[in-house]
Amino acid sequence: MGLRPAKCYRYIKSRAYTRRAIKVMKKAFIRGVPGPKIQIFDMGNKSKREWEIGVDMIAKYPVQVRHNQLEAIRMSVFRHLNKLIGRQNFHFRIRTYPHHVLRENPMATGAGADRFQQGMRKSFGKPIGMAARLKKGKEIMSVYVDDKKHIPIIKRAFHVAKNKLSGDYSVIINENVGKI
């Protein structure tokens, strides 16, 4: 079975469900959480140097982004920038990390499914993935360059990334960024 659509995991105004200890220690640790698909957060020219221009993609309202979406935008933006700008001419950084654990109450279908299924009784759910919860105004990714002629290329790469994400995002350009 494929992944459930993102609308099944809308942003709810509660704190992220993580492995942290809460008041009831018995319920604090989640067993069997799959690791996030995204492993690389800094790409391109990683040297500690000063950059002239920074381009950020920012969430317009609170949204939840799954780890496979983060990996998809990382791959597409890096491929686009690497091909058109060159690896040594930019620094690309994913600015968020998936902490929230997504759960699913699997429902059986087909003949005989009603005999072993309990419905919504004890429907805590099994961990199926991770997600990053973004507040309004939080940066999801940033690209740093030295030349203004690269800004349209970065905007095009961010446009491709927006199509892979749920939610609405805006692009902000900062000049004289300095060291990152």
Structure confidence at residue 27 (pLDDT) = 62
Phi, psi angle pair for 157, to nearest 5°: -65, -40
pLDDT, the chain, mean? 84
Structure confidence at residue 145 (pLDDT) = 93
Instruction: Please work out, in degrees rounded to the nearest 5, the angle formed at the alpha carbon of residue 132 by the alpha carbons of 68 and 138.
Output: 120
Residues facing 133 on adjacent strands: 64
| Share above pLDDT 70 across residues of the chain, in percent, rounded to a whole number | 85
Q: Taking 70 as the threshold, does the pLDDT of residue 12 lie above it?
A: no
pLDDT digits (tens, 9 = 90+) for 91-150: 999 999 998 888 887 777 766 666 666 777 777 778 888 999 999 999 999 999 998 999
pTM (two decimals): 0.82
Which domains are present in the chain? 51-106+122-180 (3.90.1170.10)
Structure confidence at residue 22 (pLDDT) = 58
Q: Is 27 helix (H, G, I), strand (E, B) or coil?
A: helix
Q: Average pLDDT for residues 153-164, to the nearest whole number?
A: 94
pLDDT digits (tens, 9 = 90+) for 17-44: 776 555 666 666 677 778 889 899 999 9
Confidence of residue 155 (pLDDT cuts 50, 70, 90): very high
The DSSP-derived string for 61-85 is S-EEEEHHHHHHHHHHHHHHHHHHT
| Share above pLDDT 90 across residues of the chain, in percent, rounded to a whole number | 46
Structure confidence at residue 43 (pLDDT) = 92
135-to-16, 26, 58, 106, 178 alpha-carbon distances in Å: 12, 29, 9, 29, 25
Structure confidence at residue 100 (pLDDT) = 86
Q: Average pLDDT for residues 80-98, to the nearest whole number?
A: 93
